[in-house]
Amino acid sequence: MSITSWADKSFKDELRDIVTGMGFEYWYGSPRLIALRVGYFYEDPRYGNRKFMTYGAGLRYDVYAFDFSYIDAFEDKHPLGETLRFTLMMSWEGSPF
């Protein structure tokens, strides 16, 4: 048995293979009521070249929650480009999120 996941390429190429994603979220209200989110995804051009921004918002009230997100790809005809996602949640225990 041999393990080659970190030894089959040079260290520089292994670092390029790492996918980077980061995001920020801000909550407003006490208890948390409204959320605003933004994120960025990056992949090296040699290993997929995916790059896109994500934007989102959330609303919490009592036992209900609604989330919305939008993906903005930086290239035309990207499969995830201009994707909208919605989530509706309920807390069954009767406590806020």
Q: 4-13, 48-57, 74-83: which has the minimum mean pLDDT?
A: 4-13
| pLDDT for 64 beyond 70 | yes
Looking at residue 18, what DSSP letter applies? -
Question: Tokens representing 97?
Answer: 């999120």
Two tokens at 89? 């949640």
Instruction: Kindly state the percentage of the chain with pLDDT values over 90.
Output: 40
Both tokens of 61, joined, read 């009230």
Give yes or no for residue 84 having a pLDDT over 80: yes
